[in-house]
Structure 1
Amino acid sequence: MSRFSTLKKAALVAAMGLGLIGQASLVAAEEWKFALEEISGSVQDAYAQKFKQLVEQKSDGKISVTVYPYGALGESEDLTELVANGVLQFAHGSTGILGSTAPSMQVFSVPYLLSQDNQVNLKVLTESPTIYGPMADKLKTRNLRLLSMYPEGEMVWTTNKVVRKPADFDNVKMRVMASPMLVETYKSFGAVPTPLPYSEVYGALQLKMIDGQENPIFAIEEMKFYEVTDVLTWSGHQQFTVAVLSSESWYQGLPAEQQKIIDETVTELGPYIFDTQAQYNKERLAKIQQLKPGIELVRLNEEEQAAFRKASLPMRDKLVELAGPEAGATLQALEKEIAALEQQ
């Protein structure tokens, strides 16, 4: 065999070896599972897909993130349980559901808590010493690590009549999540709160089992709630706020470089998801208006909002009654943080 042939064969063997090493690295890529409370194309999906992209880039492909849309692994309660048990690495968690573990989480059900300025909300929801101190510590008792929080958009009422004052809610059955605070909130507004699973809302609206519901615009569009409603109302009372969770024990068991990847990714995603949710809600409203030109859009003015704000004032005492004095202290602390940031 010639020297050239020998070198050629050696090069081929070396190339094959590199290929096998590459294949082995692909096979050995660590999988992280991320479950959503919403379907593909939602704000949560946008967050998870960007999380996937950044983690896989930062790890040079050594980590693969698999995103599971709503329903693939169960309802919201199931997802937090799977994270706590270490079956899932990441999930979104609604504050109402997390309130059973960390009662102070129910503070986000108090109407008119968050600022009308989302730059203030960005600062609070990603850096608050109240949220990432006592509140996060409470979640750790269930082996849940609070990585971040963000709003998916302003809650909008879908009804079949115009609601401009609490009296207009008389005998109106409004679907709510199974949260005592949300039930009491809609009682204070004058409505008849009706807890239902998210997956049953469209059918209940269609069959007139309920008269309305609340969700951000993007969710109203993707779940087609606009098809079975006549009026969309912006009341300014709340934003749908969601938590990003991982397993505390799993996180603590990771190598320092993988913890750093998670922390850096979550920090980068803060501003990204605030901008993304705003764009999603703007685009989805335009789509609703195109598909149903006759739908009525109502935006409560300051005076009209003030009436609902006043009606909901007893919710501060109700928070303490339902969730304990710790939740009341959390409310006061967050209100101070928000007020200070609004003055800057």
Structure 2
Amino acid sequence: MQIRNVMTGVFALSMMGAANSALADTWRFGLEETEGSVQYAYAEAFKDLIEEKSDGDITVQILPYGVWGSSYSALYDALQGGAIPISFGSGFLGGTVPESQLMSLNYVMPNDQLETAEILNSDAFMQSDAWQQSFRSRGLVPLAAVPEGFQVWTANKPIHTPEDMKGLQIRVMDNSLLRATYQAYGAAPITIAYGELYSALQQGQAEGNIQPVFAHENMGFYEVQDDMIFAEQAQFIGNLIANEKWYEALSDDQQKMLQSTLKEMVQKGHDIQTQFNAERLETIKDKSDINIIYLDEKERSRFRELARPVRKVYVDMVGERGKQALDILLKEVEESKSGSSDSDDGQAT
């Protein structure tokens, strides 16, 4: 779809929301994913809480991928312009908020997925000046981070070592840091639109893929790949973002209601992604004979060593504010690690 047509659709949605606002305030919520995804289930739970807490004075209109269009830049433009006041933004968001690529760094966060969600949503990180200003300087407000499960590799051959990944044309989101990461692993990363990825894998235009389990199942990617590899290098993180003018125009009570809802959603979001990914993995196993590989600590350590220098690449890309955000995050991870009896498997070292 051309950008012009996408924005026409967004404008029409905006007019629908304006018409509805005579009866209730409508919060339009843009998703990067389709129905049946973690983002959609999260949005449904968020909608239920907001509408209940507001006694029906606020309705949440969920706009999944395909409803608002198919170009992520159009979604982010609509968010910055206020036509869609709340939205998810993930790997593609790096073109709008370069510092957001912090969420794409590999082998930084703990292996415990709930612990990751709690650290990312802690006031120490989420409300830090470095993280807030990275978004606010672009007319946006970071509200929450929503981990959607470990990013899992697929390919048409087993991958246990960086040598196995050498030259692999693996699809990554349009994100400079992700390209740098997979180049460090020895792969040849390429970018293909999400809606075109299935056919690209089927036709061999891409040789590998990186998604949470639920997305591999939801989009059928596992049908056209032979091997699924769990390296536990990073979770897929959806950033929940608001238009700054819209957010600041909310009443104090509405802002408090939103913030209390987001705190509740940390656990709910974790429960959603855990259930989705566990159930979808069973579906994949039932419906295919894909070879599932879990890398052991020795195998992960080789990828971890290659990923560590990419932190400097991130800082060089985005500057001092990004470095400050990374330093805060590493400090929170280290403090969490020191309070746990777990090993440092997968953590910042």
- After TM superposition, the score normalised by the length of structure 2 is 0.87
Q: 1:326 aligned to 2:317?
A: no
CA deviations on 1:310-333 (whole Å, 9 max, x unpaired) are 122221221122222432333232
| Aligned position for 1:31 | 26
Question: In the alignment, which of 140, 143, 156 is matched to residue 160 of structure 1?
Answer: 156
Q: 1:107 aligned to 2:70?
A: no
Q: For 2:155 and 2:321, how far apart are their aligned partners in 1?
A: 35
Question: Which structure has the greater CA radius of gyration?
Answer: 1
More strand by share: 1
Question: In the alignment, which of 46, 55, 61 is matched to residue 60 of structure 1?
Answer: 55
Question: In the alignment, which of 94, 102, 115 is matched to residue 120 of structure 1?
Answer: 115
Aligned residue pair count: 318
Q: CA deviation at 1:41?
A: 1.4
CA deviations on 1:286-310 (whole Å, 9 max, x unpaired) are 0111111x11100000000001111
Q: For 1:309 and 1:256, how far apart are their aligned partners in 2?
A: 44
- The alignment partner of 1:129 has SS state of helix
What is the CA RMSD across the aligned residues, in angstroms? 1.6
CA deviations on 1:209-251 (whole Å, 9 max, x unpaired) are 0101100000000000011001110011111011111111111
Q: Which amino acid aligns with 1:280?
A: F
Q: For 1:26 and 1:313, how far apart are their aligned partners in 2?
A: 49
Question: In the alignment, which of 253, 260, 276 is matched to residue 257 of structure 1?
Answer: 253
Q: CA deviation at 1:26?
A: 9.4
Q: 1:136 aligned to 2:129?
A: no
| Aligned position for 2:66 | 71
Q: For 1:324 and 1:221, how far apart are their aligned partners in 2?
A: 37
| Aligned position for 1:8 | none
Q: 1:220 aligned to 2:216?
A: yes
Q: Which amino acid aligns with 2:220?
A: K
- The alignment partner of 2:141 has SS state of strand
Stretches of structure 2 that go unaligned for 5 or more consecutive residues are 1-19, 340-349
Identical counterparts, % of pairs: 36
Which stretch of structure 1 is more off in the superposition, 183-192 or 113-122?
A: 113-122
Contact residue 120 and residue 338 of structure 1 kept, 8 A? no
Stretches of structure 1 that go unaligned for 5 or more consecutive residues are 1-24
Which stretch of structure 1 is more off in the superposition, 164-173 or 330-339?
A: 330-339
- After TM superposition, the score normalised by the length of structure 1 is 0.89
Q: CA deviation at 1:171?
A: 2.1
| Aligned position for 1:315 | 310
| Aligned position for 2:283 | 287
| Aligned position for 1:187 | 183
Contact residue 120 and residue 342 of structure 1 kept, 8 A? no
